[in-house]
Amino acid sequence: MSGTRAAIRYAKAILSLASDQKSADAVNKDMKLIAATIADSKELSDTLQSPVISSTIKKAVLLEVFKKSNNATISLIETLINNNRIDLLGTVAVKYNQLFDQSKGIELATVTTAVAITDALKKKVLAKAKELTGKEIEVENIVDESILGGFILRIGDVQYNASIANQLNKLKREFTLN
């Protein structure tokens, strides 16, 4: 929990710095790349978490992997290294993206489907979600074969479950009650 709070503090600080330098959009792209790279690479994640690997090696690895990053992003990496908090980099990146989206009035909608959604369907979901919320929406697709079909749409704390698995569970409950 304290790691999450610290990550939020770092994310707020880097957002403030990037906004002052008029580079918040560039840093947001960097943070999306960092979050995705750390989430996708077990080796990189393990390296950042390892107490055995020295901070100079971690810094060299990160600066090589993210060498095309904005100066504010490089500054964040160096600050986290100096404060022995580099293990928080992935969480800081995710929190930065959330704070950036909030500052721009963008809300994240997650659509869980049994198969990946097409671009045409994604556009329809975007239009419907924007109509419902009145905000700019960014859609993230999560593939979960256990829902069998249909979809689950979640925007903020509101969820609409139109999955086949949910409908089957409702039928099952109705039959067991009668």
Amino acid identity of residue 80, one-letter, is: L
**DSSP secondary structure letter of residue 122:** H
pLDDT, mean of residues 93-99: 93
pLDDT, mean of residues 51-56: 93
| pLDDT score of 162 more than 80 | yes
What domains are there in the chain, each with its CATH number? 2-102 (1.10.520.20), 105-177 (no CATH)
Q: What is the pTM of this model?
A: 0.72
Work out the number of other CB atoms within 10 angstroms of the CB of residue 111. Answer: 21
Per-residue pLDDT, 159: 85
pLDDT band, residue 1 (cuts 50/70/90): very low
> Residue 88: left (phi > 0), alpha (psi -120 to 50), or beta?
alpha
Distance CA 101, CA 172 (A): 40
Query: Which tokens belong to 12?
Result: 């707020």
| pLDDT score of 36 more than 50 | yes
Residue showing tokens 């580079």: 23
